[in-house]
Amino acid sequence: MLKKNRAAFIVEHLNFHYEETPIPLSHTNNFELLIAVLLSAQCTDERVNRVTPKLFELANNSFDMQNVPVNEIYNIIRPCGLAPQKSKAIHNLSLILVEKYGGEVPNNINALETLPGVGHKTASVVISQGFGQPAFPVDTHIHRLAQRWGLTNGKNVKQTELDLKKLFPRDSWNKLHLQIIFYGREFCTARGCDGRICKICKTCYPNRKNAFKAKKP
């Protein structure tokens, strides 16, 4: 099966399973989304959603968050892991948002990437889910599945993102990114599928005899 044919089948199959793509991280504004995505690094969305209500009750905007002591933020977000770094990042980015952007989250991926604790993937998620701009954030699920499905060589996350953007229409990126994550969690899991078990893997590579080992990000 040619790559373009694999891509077409994947879109069709994902649309069948996930017509709706609700944003996994609970939030009520773009500041909350930014903080939730930052916290989700090396942490599950479920755990983040258990932690953020208490944090956002304390402060759900940059003006209030800049006044919350780092140790207080730390005590709330400890269950998310990397709490020392994340608590400092949340405090410092709040100061920067107030000082440089009038307290608002910037609608610009390059500006977002200059904020403490915000890398390309986090910025891409905020641009995509917060502002509705086309982006294709690549997390570990997407990096793994794109390789299993023969959509990229998996050289690195940056290359995977470029390959997916070339392969799929720009107006499909935001929805497709979430669909792949959902499918990776439900059907094509890291341990539950070895490249020969889920429907997409079996359809794209029906003659695959050995377990597929994806390159890590």
- H-helix or E-strand spanning residue 137: none
Give the dihedral sign, CA 184/123/217/166: positive
139, 166, 194, 209: which is the annotated catalytic residue?
Answer: 139
Calculate the alpha carbon distances from 163 to 130, 132, 150, 174 in Å: 24, 21, 11, 15
What is the token pair recorded at 82? 């990397």
Neighbours of 102 (CB within 10 A): 10
Residue 121 among the catalytic residues: yes
Give residue 64's identity as a one-letter amino acid code.
Answer: D
Pinpoint the alpha helices (H) of 59-193: 62-65, 70-77, 83-101, 109-112, 120-125, 131, 140-148, 157-167, 173-186
121, 163, 166, 213: which is the annotated catalytic residue?
Answer: 121
Q: Are 25 and 36 in contact (CB under 8 A)?
A: yes
Active site residues: 121, 139
